[in-house]
Amino acid sequence: MFGALIRRKTNPMSEIGDIAIESTIFSLTTDVPRPTDQRADERLLALLPVARLVADDWQDLCRIRNISAGGMMAEATQRHVAGCGLIIELNSNQRIGGTLVWVRDTTLGIKFDQNIDIREILANRRPRIGFRPRPARLEIACTATVKIGSLYHRVEVRDVSLGGIKVRLLDPRCLGKDVIVTVESLRAIKGNVRWHRDGMAGIVFDRPLAFDELAEWLGKRIEVASLRASSQPINRAS
C-alpha cells in the first residue's frame, strides 16, 4: 500500500475545506482502509473533510480519515450496522455508491461499488471559477429561532452542516443581515444570511461547528426521538 499525506504551506486566508482535504490520507490502492489503534491528533481530526452518508433508513455525516480508489475509512456521528448499501456525498456534485463492510464503534469501512480516480476526487475538491460545490449537509427537521436585530423569528430547519444552516424564513429583508441562530438543544450561533429565495434562507456561520459538537447534538436528537416514539400508545386493531 502506498499512502500520501497531502500537505502545503499554511495560508491564513485558505478556505477550511481546502485545508481539510489536504489533511486526509489518500492511498493509491483498491483496498478498503483498515482501522489502527493509533488515534490521530485532535487538531488534525478537526480539519478532516466531512461527507454525507445516505442509506435506505438513515443518514449521517462523517469525517473522512483515509480514502483509496476502492473505499474509505470514516468517522460517523452515530453507530451503524455493517452490510448496508449507501451513497457517499462528498459535496453537491460528487456522489459515490458503496457498501458498509466493517464497523468499529463509530468508525466505518466503506467499499465503493466501483473503483474511483483519486486524481478526479482531488481535482473536484478545488472550486472552479464561478462555481463552488455545496458542502455535505444533513437533512433534518426541527425548529430554531433566528434573531435579526431586535426581532426573533421562529423558523423551520431544513438542513444543517458544520458551516451553515438552511431555514424557512419568509422575510426577504433578512438577506445580508447578521443573525443569531438558536437550534433546539444547540448553543446560539452567530452567522450571516447569504441567500434568500422562495421563502428559504441560507445562513453561513461565522465560525464552523466542531464535528464532535454536531455529533453530540445529533445523538441528543436521536435519544429524544426514541423516547417520544416509545411513549406513543400502540394502536391495536379490534
Q: What is the CATH number of the domain that holds 53?
A: 2.40.10
Query: What was the pLDDT predicted at 44?
Result: 42
For residues 20 and 91, membership in a common domain is answered with yes
Same domain, 181 and 79: no
Domain range for 209 is 138-230
Q: Are 167 and 60 members of one domain?
A: no
**Residue 33 maps to a domain:** yes
Q: Which of 62, 90, 125 is the last residue of a domain?
A: 125
Q: What pLDDT does 24 receive?
A: 58
What pLDDT is stored for residue 113 in this prediction?
94
pLDDT given for residue 180 in this prediction: 97
Establish if 175 belongs to a structural domain: yes
pLDDT for position 50: 86
pLDDT tens figures, 176-207: 999 999 998 888 999 999 999 999 999 999 99
Domain total of the chain: 2
Residues of the chain under the 70 pLDDT cut: 1-29, 35-48, 121-135, 222, 224-238
Last residue of a domain, one of 67, 93, 125: 125
Domain boundary among 125, 160, 182: 125
**Looking at the domain assignment, is residue 222 inside a domain?**
yes
207 found inside a domain: yes
pTM of the entire predicted model: 0.66
User: Contact at 8 Å (CB) between 92 and 159?
Assistant: no
| 71 part of a folded domain | yes
Is residue 8 assigned to a domain?
yes
Q: Is 152 a member of any domain?
A: yes
Residues 148 and 108 in one domain: no
Looking at the structure, tell me whether residues 19 and 121 fall in a common domain: yes
Residues 19 and 110 in one domain: yes
Residues 23 and 118 placed together within one structural domain of the fold: yes
